[in-house]
């Protein structure tokens, strides 16, 4: 174990990527980066991370922001539940801990949205605590390094992975070590065509010794995404520079908390009715968009509707085109709007 630690740290010092969140030990900034990096590529996260911290540089600033401002800054990054939980967790930090992220691991894990992985990342990177982390990259590295043959995602495998990670992390620079494990999985020990000739721990890798690198880790079979047909309506009022688009919030379970155009399965008229709007609906769609989520593939027929009317509320109101940049809307809604105004 000591040999693995030192080899990984030496490799990380030389080969680790220069990423913005690696220039800080501010626990709040580390927290933001780790939440954004969940299920999202590093290249995608970088500009969002920088803009988010420019908009909300401190826990206090984020806690005082309303949800629309937070989701607007997050808009396009996806998995919006992460943003809402981060917002809730930071508000609790401000209310309970005076705006300082707690050093105590149990206190961190009690915060909304902070699970074992996020707590360990904050603890090791920001507070230099010997706390393990296990994510997809670490899972792949450990499964190959230690030849773990049980299926990923089972309770037995998860328990084994966290136990092995906990045995590896004690020692100097636990935060850098955890990042080295993740970096190895991201850059060298990749899911396909791993670069074993560039790996710093080939001598310790049991999977490589047995020629089983491509076979491990043993994954669960993924179900194909469910196909869902939707109708979306871009309902407008006014013309030219005065044109406004009606958006609603809360009627789309896949994008809860975000503003979106009226949408329903297969039926444009039903979409308007459910949104509480009256409008002149076009008889045929002006376009079609596809949007793939983790478990669903959405095919959306896009309709126009004009002279739209409805009572304004906290969950239904018209926006100017400029206003759309100030609120949280999903990538799907952006695609729908683009298809409408392009068509």
pLDDT at residue 1, as a whole number: 66
Please determine, for residue 288, whether its predicted confidence score (pLDDT) is greater than 60: yes
Give the integer Cα–Cα distance in Å for 304 and 325: 21
Give the integer Cα–Cα distance in Å for 153 and 222: 12
Q: Give the domain ranges of the chain.
A: 26-127, 131-221, 226-342
pLDDT at residue 342, as a whole number: 64
Q: How confident is the model at residue 326 (pLDDT cuts 50, 70, 90)?
A: confident
Return the closest-CA partner of residue 276 out of 301, 298, 249, 253: 249
**What backbone torsions phi and psi does residue 308 show, to the nearest 5 degrees?**
-75, 140
Beta carbons of 335 and 291 less than 8 angstroms apart: yes
DSSP letter, residue 198: G
pLDDT at residue 327, as a whole number: 81
- Residues with a catalytic annotation lie at 34
Beta carbons of 301 and 268 less than 8 angstroms apart: yes
pLDDT at residue 256, as a whole number: 62
Return the closest-CA partner of residue 56 out of 36, 40, 79: 36
Return the closest-CA partner of residue 23 out of 11, 10, 33: 33
Q: Which of 83-97, 238-252, 313-327 has the lowest mean pLDDT?
A: 238-252
pLDDT digits 0-9 by tens, 139-157: 999 999 999 999 999 999 9
Question: Strand 244-249 to strand 316-320: parallel, antiparallel, or no bridges (unpaired)?
Answer: antiparallel
pTM above 0.85, yes or no: no
* Orientation of helix 155-168 relative to helix 174-187, angle to 10°: 130
| Residue with the two structure tokens 């039926």 | 267
Q: 115: how many CB neighbours lie within 10 A of its CB? A: 12
pLDDT digits 0-9 by tens, 7-57: 999 999 999 999 999 999 999 999 999 999 998 999 999 999 999 999 999
Q: What's the CATH code, domain 26-127?
A: 1.10.340.30
Architecture of the 131-221 domain: Orthogonal Bundle (1.10)
Asked, colleague to colleague, whether 26-127 and 226-342 share their fold, the answer is no
pLDDT at residue 252, as a whole number: 58
More confident: 160 or 296: 160
Cα 277 to its chain centre, rounded Å, is: 32
Average pLDDT across the chain, whole number? 93
Q: 282: how many CB neighbours lie within 10 A of its CB? A: 15
Architecture of the 226-342 domain: Alpha-Beta Complex (3.90)
Give the integer Cα–Cα distance in Å for 295 and 225: 4
Strand positions, DSSP E, the chain: 226-237, 244-249, 259-260, 263-264, 278-281, 287-292, 296-309, 316-320
Strand positions, DSSP E, 125-274: 226-237, 244-249, 259-260, 263-264
Beta carbons of 237 and 319 less than 8 angstroms apart: no
Characterize 209-219 residue by residue with b for buried, 16 or more Cβ atoms within 10 angstroms of its Cβ, and e for exposed.
Answer: eeeebeebbee
Q: What percent of the chain has pLDDT over 70?
A: 97
């Amino acid at each position: 174990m000591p040999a693995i630690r030192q080899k990984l740290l030496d490799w990380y010092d030389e080969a680790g990527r220069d990423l913005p969140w690696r220039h800080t030990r501010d626990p709040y900034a580390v927290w933001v980066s780790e939440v954004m990096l969940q299920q999202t590529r590093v290249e995608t996260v970088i500009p969002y991370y920088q803009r988010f911290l420019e908009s909300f540089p401190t826990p206090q600033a984020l806690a005082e922001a309303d949800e629309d401002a937070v989701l607007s800054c997050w808009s396009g990054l996806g998995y919006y539940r992460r943003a809402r939980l981060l917002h809730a967790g930071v508000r609790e930090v401000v209310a309970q801990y005076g705006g300082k992220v707690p050093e105590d691991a149990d206190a961190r894990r009690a915060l909304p949205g902070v699970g074992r992985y996020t707590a360990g990342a904050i603890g090791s990177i920001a507070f230099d605590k010997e706390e393990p982390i296990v994510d997809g990259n670490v899972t792949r590295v450990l499964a190959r390094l230690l030849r773990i043959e049980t299926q990923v995602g089972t309770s037995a495998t998860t328990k084994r992975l966290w136990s092995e990670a906990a045995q590896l992390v004690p020692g100097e620079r636990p935060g850098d070590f955890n990042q080295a494990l993740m970096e190895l999985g991201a850059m060298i020990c990749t899911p396909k065509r791993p670069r074993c000739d560039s790996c710093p721990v080939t001598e310790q890798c049991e999977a490589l010794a047995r020629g089983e690198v491509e076979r491990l880790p043993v994954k669960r079979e993924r179900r194909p995404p469910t196909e869902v047909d939707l109708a979306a309506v871009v309902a407008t009022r006014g013309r030219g520079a005065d044109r406004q688009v009606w958006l609603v919030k809360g009627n789309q379970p896949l994008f809860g908390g975000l503003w979106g155009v009226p949408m329903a399965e297969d039926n444009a008229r039903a979409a308007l009715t459910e949104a509480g709007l009256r409008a002149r609906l076009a008889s045929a769609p002006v376009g079609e968009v596809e949007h793939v989520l983790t478990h669903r593939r959405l095919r959306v027929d896009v309709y126009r509707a004009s002279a739209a009317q409805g009572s304004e509320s906290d969950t239904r109101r018209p926006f100017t085109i400029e206003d759309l940049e100030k609120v949280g809307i999903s990538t799907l809604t952006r695609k729908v709007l683009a298809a409408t105004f392009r068509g």
